[in-house]
C-alpha cells in the first residue's frame, strides 16, 4: 500500500508574515488529513516559523534543496543536519528550475540524494523531459538518464526510502498539465525502471508523485491513475483552500483504487 503524498513547493515565495499565514491556513483546514501525507516546503528563511506552526500536527516540513555534505566551506549553502534540526523530513532535489537556472548536474544531484539519505531525510528526486525532448520522442530516454544517474550507487533499501517526482518541464508553472494518460505512461515506465534497479517488491512500494500545473480542477483525474501516488504542487500550493482541495482529491483517488 502506498500512501499518497502531496507536497507544497512554495518556491521563492513567502515572507515570514505570508508564510505563517499560509501554513496556519493549511494546518487549520487540514486538521485530520485522512489517507494522505502532506508536506510543506517553504523557503529556507521560513522553515523555522512553519516548523513551529505544524509541530504536533500530521503536516510535515520539507526543504526545497540542500547541500550533499554535512558541513564545510560552502558559502550560502544549507546542510542536511541543519534541516533535520528544524524538523524537516523531506528535501526536494533536482528540481528542473535548479537544473536549468543553476546548472545542477545529475552527478551533483546524486550526491545530494545520498547526503540527504545519510541524515535520515527523504529525498524527492525530480525528473522530467523538456517540451523539445518530448517532441523529439526522447521523454523516456531523458527520464531514464536522470533516474539512473540520480540513483546511482544507491542500494535497494535506499531507493525504497526515496520519493520520485515526475515533473515534465513543459508543465511546470505553465498552466498546461500532462494529461492523466501522459503522466500515467511515464509513471508506469519509472516504476518499471525502479523494478529493474531494485526488485519488483521494492518498486511497488516506491512513491512516484506527479508535478506540473496540478490544480484543484485537474487533481481528480491525475490522482485517479494507478501509478500516480500524489502530487508535487507549486503555484497552487500558495492558496490554502486550493491546496487542501488537492490533498482531499489525492486521498479520494487512492481510496477509489483500493489503496
CB nearer to ligand PEP: give 55 or 176.
176
* Contacting residue, 143, 233, 245, 250, with ligand PEP by CB under 6 A: 233
Give the whole-angstrom CA distance, residue 190 versus residue 142. Answer: 11
Q: Pick the binder of ligand PEP from 172, 178, 190, 246 (CB under 6 A).
A: 172
223 binds ligand PEP (CB under 6 A): no
Nearer of residues 197 and 245 to ligand PEP, judged by Cβ: 245
Binding span for ligand PEP by CB under 6 A among 147-155, 183-191, 194-202, 228-236: 228-236
Q: Which of 69, 114, 73, 76 is nearest to 93 (CA)?
A: 114
Of 214, 240, 250, 254, the one binding ligand PEP (CB under 6 A) is 214
Q: Which is nearer to ligand PEP, 120 or 173 (CB)?
A: 173
- Spell out, one character per residue from 127 to 166, where the chain touches ligand PEP: x when CB under 6 A holds, - when not: ----------------------------------------
User: Could you give the C-alpha distances from 72 to 31, 64, 234, in angstroms and in order?
Assistant: 39, 20, 31
Question: Is 187 noted as a catalytic residue in this protein?
Answer: no
3-state per-residue secondary structure call for 65-129 = CCCCCCCCCCCCCCCHHHHHHCCEEEEEECCHHHHHHHCCCHHHHHHHHHHHHHCCCEEEEEECC
Respond yes or no: is residue 37 known to be catalytic.
no
Q: Which of 165, 163, 206 is nearest to 186 (CA)?
A: 165
Query: Could you give phi then psi for residue 230, rounded to 5 degrees?
Result: 130, -170
Cell of 144: 531514464
Contacting residue, 6, 9, 14, 127, with ligand PEP by CB under 6 A: 9
Catalytic, out of 104, 133, 167, 225: 167
Q: Which stretch binds ligand PEP (CB under 6 A): 24-32, 83-91, 155-163, 231-239?
A: 231-239
What is the C-alpha separation between 203 and 111, in angstroms, rounded? 22
**Contact call for residues 10 and 42 (beta carbons, < 8 A):** yes
Q: Which stretch binds ligand PEP (CB under 6 A): 28-36, 80-88, 208-216, 240-248?
A: 208-216
The yes or no reply on residue 167 touching ligand PEP (CB under 6 A) is yes
Strand residue runs (E) in the chain: 5-9, 37-41, 60-63, 88-93, 122-127, 163-166, 208-211, 230-233
> What number of residues does the chain have?
259
Which one of 37, 67, 95, 129 is the catalytic residue?
A: 95
**What x/- string results for residues 69 through 108 when contact with ligand PEP is judged by CB under 6 A?**
----------------------------------------
Euclidean distance between CA atoms 150 and 113, whole angstroms: 7
Known catalytic residues are: 95, 167
Q: Which residues bind ligand PEP (CB under 6 A)?
A: 9, 11, 167, 172-173, 211-214, 232-236
Amino acid at each position: 500500500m502506498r500512501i499518497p503524498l502531496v507536497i507544497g513547493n512554495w518556491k521563492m515565495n513567502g515572507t515570514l508574515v505570508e508564510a505563517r499565514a499560509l501554513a496556519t491556513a493549511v494546518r487549520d483546514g487540514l486538521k485530520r488529513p485522512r489517507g494522505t501525507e502532506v508536506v510543506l516546503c517553504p523557503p529556507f528563511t521560513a522553515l523555522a516559523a512553519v516548523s513551529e506552526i505544524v509541530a504536533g500536527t500530521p503536516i510535515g516540513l520539507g526543504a526545497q534543496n540542500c547541500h550533499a555534505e554535512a558541513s564545510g566551506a560552502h558559502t550560502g549553502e544549507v546542510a542536511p543536519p541543519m534541516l533535520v534540526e528544524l524538523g524537516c523530513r523531506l528535501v526536494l532535489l533536482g528540481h528542473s528550475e535548479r537544473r536549468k537556472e543553476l546548472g545542477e548536474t545529475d552527478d551533483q544531484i546524486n550526491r545530494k540524494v545520498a547526503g540527504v539519505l545519510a541524515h535520515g531525510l527523504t529525498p524527492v528526486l525530480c525528473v522530467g523531459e523538456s517540451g523539445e525532448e518530448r517532441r523529439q520522442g526522447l521523454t523516456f530516454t531523458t527520464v531514464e538518464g536522470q533516474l539512473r544517474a540520480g540513483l546511482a550507487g544507491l542500494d535497494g533499501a535506499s531507493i525504497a526510502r526515496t520519493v520520485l517526482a515526475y515533473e515534465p518541464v513543459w508543465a511546470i508553472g505553465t498552466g498546461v498539465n500532462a494529461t492523466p494518460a501522459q503522466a500515467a505512461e511515464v509513471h508506469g515506465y519509472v516504476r518499471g525502471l525502479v523494478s529493474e534497479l531494485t526488485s519488483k517488491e521494492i518498486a511497488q512500494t516506491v512513491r512516484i508523485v506527479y508535478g506540473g500545473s496540478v490544480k484543484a480542477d485537474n487533481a481528480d483525474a491525475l490522482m485517479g491513475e494507478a501509478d500516480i501516488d500524489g502530487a508535487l504542487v507549486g503555484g497552487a500550493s500558495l492558496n490554502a483552500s486550493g491546496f487542501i482541495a488537492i490533498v482531499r482529491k489525492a486521498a479520494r483517488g487512492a481510496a477509489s483504487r483500493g489503496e
